[in-house]
Amino acid sequence: MLRKIFAVTGVLTILGAGPTYAACDKYEEVTSAWLPIMQTTAYYVATEERLFEKACIKVKSNKMQSPNHIIDALVGGRADFGPPGAAAGIAMLAEEKFPGTFKVFGLQGGGIKVNLINDGLIVKTGSPIKSFADLKGYTIGHVPGIQWRTITKHLVRSAGLDPNKDVKLVDLAVPQQVPAVLGGSVNATLSLEPVGSIAAATDGVDRAVVNPVAMVIADPFYSGAAVLTMKFIKERPSVARKIVKIIDKATALAMANFDKYKTIIPKYTAIRNTQLDLLAKPYLRSFSDLNETDLNSYQAFVDVFFSEGVMKKKMNVRTKILKMSDFGDS
């Protein structure tokens, strides 16, 4: 099935068996822009295992504070690639405004069917809010930016409420989400991992719903993506190909050995060593993993931006997935 799907999208044969390393006469410099979240785990693994260095690549690594900053850096030519965890929806919004800027080579998220958590509805213990249908008259926080505001609006609307009249939506930085619920400045938050798992283990806070986005939009649901700029691909195709191979290898390592590699996450994120046992394994899909289910899920997500009036017209995400011809191969 995988071969059939990739034959259609043109992405099957790029990777081969994986990177092979030799002594480096010189290093290629590549710039990344990344977000310190769970979905970026494969990038942490690649760095810790020195996969870039072994492939004769020196990465200038730029940690960003919001998904929008990653996309801005890529569009502005200040970064060559966004490792896993770049905002999957915002990337397509940027593609609508600046066509031909990106190619997606991986997706990250979670879902009910795969039993891996991506997001949750967080409330104070004892709250009457048990679902999005209970949010009328309340304030809900979400990850800052257009991606999670659109998702939150869509979930509220799907529950039979008017997101513009029945609820108040608030941008809320990730470190502020649990304290905001505890302090009462918001009544609930739609939170990405690991906030939900940490909240579930925190006195006074509960996770009312696990994976609410997958329940409504698509299961599995992918809010993160790995992206290359077309400028990078066209100007240095052999180096771009190496990046894809490396992230593929690192993704496989992270998924197969999450308990081992989660110990490096505090080095890159705000997660503390004492919280490691609370971390939920993310669902990481590398370039060679992508199949029809993944692409359908991604399409369903991007369609939400059109239905919510954020995109002017529908976009076919399959045209935005990396394929062999992008590297100049026949």
75 plus 149 within the same structural domain: no
Q: How far apart are CA 248 and CA 252, in angstroms?
A: 6
Percent of the chain with pLDDT over 70: 93
Give the pLDDT score at 4: 36
226 plus 309 within the same structural domain: yes
21 plus 157 within the same structural domain: no
CA 211 → CA 149, 151, 180, distances in Å?
16, 12, 21
Hey, what are 55's tokens?
């492939």
22 plus 98 within the same structural domain: yes
207-211 mean pLDDT? 95
290 plus 315 within the same structural domain: yes
Decide if pLDDT at 16 tops 80: no
Decide if pLDDT at 20 tops 90: no
77: confidence class by pLDDT, cuts 50, 70, 90: very high
**The last residue of a domain, from among 157, 180, 210:** 210
Phi, psi of 75 (to 5 degrees): -65, -40
195-201 mean pLDDT? 85
329: confidence class by pLDDT, cuts 50, 70, 90: low
- The owner of tokens 């993160």 is 224
183 plus 267 within the same structural domain: no
268-297 mean pLDDT? 93
Decide if pLDDT at 30 tops 60: yes
Decide if pLDDT at 1 tops 80: no
Q: How far apart are CA 27 and CA 280, in angstroms?
A: 36
196 plus 228 within the same structural domain: no
DSSP 3-state assignment of 62?
strand
> In the structure, how many helices (H) and strands (E) does the chain have?
14, 11
198: confidence class by pLDDT, cuts 50, 70, 90: confident
190-201 mean pLDDT? 87
33 plus 149 within the same structural domain: no
DSSP symbols for 276-317? GGGPPPPEEE-TTT--HHHHHHHHHHHHHHHHTTSSSS---G
Decide if pLDDT at 67 tops 90: no
Q: What mean pLDDT, rounded, does the chain reach?
A: 91
Give the pLDDT score at 22: 57
Hey, what are 89's tokens?
């929806």
Decide if pLDDT at 12 tops 60: no
Structurally, the chain folds into a number of domains equal to 2
109-128 mean pLDDT? 96
15 plus 109 within the same structural domain: yes
Range of the domain at 102: 2-113+219-327
Containing 207, the helix (H) or strand (E) segment is strand 205-210
98 plus 57 within the same structural domain: yes
Which of 97-118 are b and which e, b meaning 16 or more Cβ less than 10 Å from the residue's Cβ? eeeebbbbbbbbbbbeebebbb
Phi, psi of 190 (to 5 degrees): -95, 110
